[in-house]
Every structure is written in C-alpha cells, then in structure tokens.
C-alpha cells in the first residue's frame, strides 16, 4: 500500500506533491532510471483511487532545472485543473539519453537506431505499472490508465495504445515522429483492422509540411478503422507551433482534458 514517504520530494521548481522514485530498475532493458510521481491535491485526504497518466521524457515535465529545454509545467497545469474536478496521478518516466531513440521505437531505423520499443513497453507494463499500483492508490483498469509523450515519446505512446489496449485505454501522441524508420508507424496503422481506446493527436503547423502531411495521414487512417472516430480521436493542428518543449507544454492542458474528462473524475472512487 501507499506509504506517505514513498520516494523523496522533488523540490526545485515543482509545484504541489511531486515525488522522485530514484533508480527504478528495468530487468527488461537492463538499466535504471528515475521516475517522478505527481499526486493530485486531494490525494492526502480523500482516500480515493485515481486515474494514472504515464508520460515519457519525465525529466522534462515538472522542473526547469532538470529539463532538456524548459519544463512542460505539468504539475502547475494539473493543480489548476483539479479545481474543475480533473485529477490524476501523473507518472513521469525519465528517458536515458543515449538509449532514448532505441527505447522509444519498436522499429529499426538504419541511421537512427530503434528496435527496443517492445522491451520498453514491457518495462512500463510488467515492472513499472505494478510498482506504481502497489505504492499508490490507482485505478488499475485500462479505461483509467493513459499514456502520453511528444516526438519520439509520442511515437511510443501511440504504439502502446494500439498494441496494449488491455493496459492503456487512452493516449496522447503530440508531434509524433512518424518519419522514423521510413514511416513504419504509418505502415503499422494501415495493417490494423480496428482499434479501441481514445487518442489525442496533434502537430504544429510550423513543424514542416512533411510532418504535417504524415500526421494528417495517420488521423485519416485511424478514423477509417473505427466506427466512432469522433469519440475516439481528437486531432489538433496548432497554428505556428514548433517542435519544442514550450509548444507541447502549452498544448498539454488540451490533451489532458481529452484524456481525463470531468465526467470520469466526478465519480465516487
């Protein structure tokens, strides 16, 4: 069960209750990384169980001092949304810089790497999720479990939704790297007969025409493979937005509103 002292307080620029679980070991990948856990404002007093949002590039989410190029300020966004009844545990999974491309793609790119995405997904589902479920008051079912990321993190989050719907019921793929491995993710999507769950998908119009074209094509493919596209896909083209942390941080609120609508969080958990 959850221990109020689980992990250590993140401190720094973080807002609210953000914990650091240091050096979480992955037997699937043979490495370890820090994991950051944001707990909603009502967690300490409610006794309720909460939806969980797993996010890639965890060091970029909460603290500017830890981030690659400025944090998304996920903690501040979640604190503000809590006033509307939108609350969730957010699990930020740090990347390992030299292994990031390998772990965030199940497809091999001859120049860039890749190919360990299934092992990374096994780490999330077989090692990390059971750890989080054991230490915190979570809703464990797929319908209460979402995954999100941007760029290569968006690619692996999309892959997780399509290939492990038994674990993840929703995903946010922000500016996904659909170019990787000769557009292998698009080919993978075309092979689907149908898919389940809910997807938030976006792209910035200033990211370049090829990226815009690929993301539009993905939206078209996935809409054609579900009987309820309006309920399952939210697609956004962000005007003049570029491929960077600042742009994704701005769009995070829109994504989380789609992943965690008020009607879900208003239940008596």
Give dist(CA 236, CA 266) in Å, integer.
26
Q: For residue 113, how many other CB atoms are within 10 A of its CB?
A: 18
pLDDT at 260: 87
Give dist(CA 116, CA 256) in Å, integer.
27
Contact 89, 37 (CB under 8 A): yes
pLDDT digits (tens, 9 = 90+) for 154-193: 999 999 999 999 999 999 999 999 999 999 999 999 999 9
Q: Of 102, 162, 92, give the one whose Cα is nearest residue 124.
A: 92
Give dist(CA 142, CA 104) in Å, integer.
21
Tell me the DSSP string of 31-90: EEEEEEEEE-TTHHHH---B-EEEESSGGGTS-TTTSSSS---HHHHHHHHHTTT---EE
Give CA torsion, residues 160, 165, 169, 173, to 10 deg: 30
Residues of the chain with pLDDT under 50: 1-5, 263-269
At which residue do the structure tokens 């809703």 appear?
139
pLDDT digits (tens, 9 = 90+) for 8-26: 665 566 777 999 999 999 9
Give dist(CA 69, CA 61) in Å, integer.
11
Contact 215, 203 (CB under 8 A): yes
pLDDT at 263: 45
For 38, residues 6+ apart whose C-beta sits below 8 A from its C-beta are 16, 17, 18, 19, 62, 74, 75, 78, 89, 90, 91, 92
Give dist(CA 98, CA 42) in Å, integer.
37
In the chain, where the domains are located: 8-265
Secondary structure class of 18 (helix, strand, coil)? strand
- The pairing of strands 17-26 and 31-39 is antiparallel
pLDDT at 66: 82
pLDDT at 265: 46
Which CATH fold topology does 8-265 show? Rossmann fold (3.40.50)
Q: For residue 245, how many other CB atoms are within 10 A of its CB?
A: 20
pLDDT at 106: 96
């Amino acid at each position: 069960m959850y221990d109020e002292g689980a992990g250590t307080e993140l401190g720094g620029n973080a807002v609210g209750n953000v914990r650091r679980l240091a050096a979480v070991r992955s037997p699937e990948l043979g490495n370890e990384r820090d994991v950051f856990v944001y707990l909603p404002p009502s967690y300490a007093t409610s006794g309720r169980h909460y939806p969980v949002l797993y996010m890639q590039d965890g060091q970029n989410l909460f603290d500017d001092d830890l981030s690659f190029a400025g944090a998304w300020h996920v903690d501040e966004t979640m604190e503000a949304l809590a006033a509307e009844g939108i609350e969730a545990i957010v699990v930020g999974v740090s990347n390992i810089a030299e292994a990031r491309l390998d772990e965030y793609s199940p497809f091999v790119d001859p120049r860039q790497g890749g190919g360990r995405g299934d092992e990374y997904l096994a780490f999330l589902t077989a090692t990390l999720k059971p750890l989080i479920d054991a230490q915190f008051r979570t809703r464990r079912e797929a319908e209460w479990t979402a995954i999100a990321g941007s760029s290569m993190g968006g690619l692996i989050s999309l892959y997780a939704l399509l290939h492990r719907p038994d674990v993840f019921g929703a995903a946010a793929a922000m500016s996904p790297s659909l170019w990787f491995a000769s557009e292998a993710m698009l080919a993978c999507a075309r092979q689907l007969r149908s898919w389940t769950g809910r997807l938030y998908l976006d792209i910035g119009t200033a990211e370049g025409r090829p990226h815009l074209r690929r993301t539009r094509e993905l939206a078209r493919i996935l809409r054609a493979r579900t009987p309820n596209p309006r309920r399952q896909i939210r697609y956004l083209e962000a005007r003049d937005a570029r491929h960077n942390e600042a742009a994704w941080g701005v769009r995070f609120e829109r994504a989380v509103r789609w992943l965690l609508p008020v009607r879900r969080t208003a239940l008596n958990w």
